[in-house]
Chains A and B, each alone.
Chain A
């Protein structure tokens, strides 16, 4: 990120007069940086707004919306943890996300392996069928699925939510099968000749080889499942089963006038997402690119 002018300075070790062209170039760079950073910060105002107001009292917030608090307070955080079962919601979300994503990815990976293992009329038919499933929007099956889960007693249970998320296995399958097809098939063939069974080949050869795409898919699906609002809102009605997104949604009704309290629960809900983003940004980007290529 160092500009060329700086490198000239360090090379010679002394200040050298810049040519007019270099000066103009440097000025342009500075102007561009200032403009872009200003736009970035303007776009980030909503984030600043919700974070800074969690440290204010309601009265302070009404008179001073974007500035620093007159008196910093952590009372909002204390209230939030006392009044709302936030930890419970986190645990619910964690359970749903871990099981949902694990099953999705496992089913998708196993299916992709079954697909590349053998090419026959049967597997091509399944490939075509799965393409149909890939195109069908979730809304098209929502009503019968709600009935089905209601008959099975799965509505308003975390297990029922996990079952709903299993549909994501089709997306995982498409991402993984594309990657698997690029692997040299000789590796599988060789292992088979050496006497390894299909399961053994899957665990000790295929899985290690597809680890990059698995990471991508896991990160991507984790984001989708953690953030889901529609399915959770339809299927979960008990307050002790709410996921964190639902909890924030319900907090609006609860704190209609107490804005700092709402902001506090939002910030608490976004904190894990932010940490996840910092740690996994690289894979989120690779998932975004891979997912968009698949369409």
Chain B
């Protein structure tokens, strides 16, 4: 296949002098223009056929449902009676007064922020360590990375057994060895919140360390050599070379974590089912619960609209930060 392509390249090189028509007379010029326009329209049409499938996906799976969500959010639509009424901002008010939704909102934000902080603070030193020399390096790299490959839902279920409040739960029987009483890991609100965030950090740390590793490996090696010659210590090198060079990586990683954190559903749902009470309830679970479970389309949609705006703010903030950083570093 490569030879085919290569011959095509040589052919166009040989042809480039002759194939460019230089129209002479006025008549030829208008004819050339006409032909060019027709060629352009034909190209438009071909490119349209190729774009048609993704346009269909966009219209059916994004545009129409998005508009519907927006409309539902201002109505009392419940899915059963077909006549819906405009109710103004009532659904939005409900979002901010309903205690379960509010708790879901609060926990989602706490979760997103804390997982972002913890993972960033742990993943960078981990990546630096995994980038260095030691025995069993490939094993350690693969092991950390592997945790992020299985479904979060399955990992949540596994940890549910590990955190079991019974004496036979792994964590509690470990505490028992030191004579510490069993703790109700998943049935105390604060402990449950901590457990969800802990498992999230455990599961995603390898993923983000791998991301940082990729950025670390693209740092030019001579920067460190020069610094060593100049007598900079390992810590100075980390602060003055590694960290600034990692800034684009930090921007991407924290963005992925914030964005993913706001959308979280699988892990809290399988680990705690959103409980105890609503202490680990999430926005997504709330949207699903109200919109599909209880047929309160209006409230669910209002929440979905607010949620979309919130994630859009995060996305654009990240884009802005990334742009200003890349400008400063160039």
Contacts and interface: CB of A to CB of B under 8 A. Distances in A.
B187 interface: no
B221 interface: no
Given A230-B266, A288-B207, A136 B66 contact: yes
B51 A123 contact: yes
Contacts of B61: 141, 145, 163-164, 166-167
Interface in B233-288: 252-253, 255-256, 262-263, 265-266, 269-270, 283-284, 287-288
A266 B158 contact: yes
Interface string B45-58: 01111110111011
A120 to B, nearest CB: 6
B222 to A, nearest CB: 20
B211 interface: yes
Interface stretch (A69-77, A80-88, A188-196): A188-196
* Interface size range of chain A in the complex: 35 or more
Contacts of B115: none
A234 B153 contact: no
A273 interface: yes
B66 A110 contact: no
Q: Which DSSP category, helix, strand, loop or mixed, fits chain A's interface?
A: helix
Nearest to B129: A36
Contacts of A277: 146, 149
A167 B62 contact: yes
A135 B297 CA distance: 22
Q: Which DSSP category, helix, strand, loop or mixed, fits chain B's interface?
A: helix
A129 interface: yes
A139 B134 contact: no
Contacts of A228: 151
Contacts of A209: 5
B146 A274 contact: yes
Interface in B272-318: 283-284, 287-288, 291-292, 297, 300-301, 304-305, 307-308, 311-312, 315, 318
B143 A40 contact: yes
Nearest to B134: A33
Nearest to B79: A147
Interface in A36-53: 36-37, 40, 43-47, 49-50
B51 A135 contact: no
A187 B8 CA distance: 7
Given A117-B50, A142-B292, A198-B46, A292 B256 contact: yes
Given A205-B5, A292-B252, A145 B65 contact: yes
A148 interface: yes
Contacts of B214: 285, 288-289
B140 interface: yes
A262 interface: yes
B11 A194 contact: yes
B210 interface: yes
Contacts of B229: none
Nearest to A111: B54
Contact of A148 (B4, B65, B157): B65
A17 interface: no
Contacts of B311: 135, 137
Nearest to A53: B161
B231 interface: no
A283 interface: no
B50 A249 contact: no
Contact of B58 (A113, A170, A270): A170
B170 interface: yes
Contacts of B69: 140-141, 143-144
B265 A230 contact: yes
Contact of A143 (B1, B144, B297): B297
B292 A143 contact: yes
Nearest to B142: A281
Contacts of B147: 43
B307 A204 contact: no
B136 A229 contact: no
Given A230-B284, A245-B154, A252-B160, A143 B5 contact: no
Interface string B144-169: 11110111111101111110000010
A49 B207 contact: no
A8 to B, nearest CB: 16
B35 interface: no
B178 interface: no
Contacts of A66: 170
A160 interface: no
A114 to B, nearest CB: 3
A288 B214 CA distance: 10
A263 B46 CA distance: 53
Interface string A251-286: 010000001001100100110011011000100110
A142 B307 contact: no
Contacts of A289: 211, 214
Given A29-B134, A107-B54, A114 B1 contact: no
B233 to A, nearest CB: 15
A148 B61 CA distance: 10
B318 to A, nearest CB: 7
Contacts of A55: none
15 contacts: A1-B137, A29-B134, A46-B159, A49-B162, A65-B173, A110-B54, A113-B50, A130-B54, A132-B62, A137-B262, A204-B4, A205-B5, A259-B161, A289-B211, A295-B319
The list of the 10 closest CB pairs from A to B, nearest first, reads A114-B50, A227-B151, A229-B153, A141-B65, A144-B65, A111-B54, A143-B291, A144-B68, A190-B8, A33-B135
